[in-house]
Every structure is written in structure tokens, then in C-alpha cells.
Amino acid sequence: MSSFMFKVQPKAMTIVCSDDELRVSLTDGRTLTVPIAWFPRLAHASSSERAEYELLGDGEGIHWPQVDEDISVAGLLAGQPSIEAKPALA
């Protein structure tokens, strides 16, 4: 007997950036919270720059046009900080 399994990747719905953390609400009901220090471009951005984001690919990624930052939901789920983050954060 064979079974067919497929993975449904959760997607981002809403994003909140504070001075300390990035919080992403997912379509499957989970909320991911990571240190904003993982993403130096966001960490150095103003509140208004962090508040302006776009969902990419129906929520597979997040783009902040004013600071040219792109983050994938898959990367967040894997616990991957930006390659620009300090090595001690990885």
C-alpha cells in the first residue's frame, strides 16, 4: 500500500516589528517571534520603515521595500537569521 503525503507550508498573514522582535502570524495559527537583531536592516530601520511590508508569494515571504529586506517563512521556521547578522546570533 502506498500513501501520498504532501506538505502544506504555512504562510505569513500579519507582521509586527518592534525595536526588539519580529513577530509573524502564520496561516496555520502559529506565531513566530524572533529577535530583530537577526535582521540588521530591520533593526536599524525606523518604526515606519518596519511597518511597511509586502507579503510575497501569497505569504511565503515578506519584503520591506524601504530597507530592501526579504525574509522567507521557511527560513524563519528553520531558525535562520540573516547572513548579515553577527555570527554570535546564529
Q: Quick check: 2 pLDDT over 90?
A: no
In the predicted model, what is the mean pLDDT of residues 2-20? 82
pLDDT of residue 89: 53
Is residue 28 included in any domain, yes or no? yes
pLDDT digits (tens, 9 = 90+) for 23-74: 999 999 999 999 999 999 999 999 999 999 999 999 999 999 999 999 999 9
65 within a domain of the structure (yes/no): yes
Is pLDDT at 18 greater than 70 in this prediction?
yes
The pTM of this model reads 0.84
In a domain, 71, yes or no: yes
Amino acid at 19: D
Q: What is the tally of structural domains in the chain? A: 1
Please report, for the domain that includes residue 78, its CATH number: 3.30.2020.40
Q: Domain range for residue 53?
A: 12-89
Distance CA 50, CA 39 (A): 11
Residue 3 domain-assigned (yes or no): no
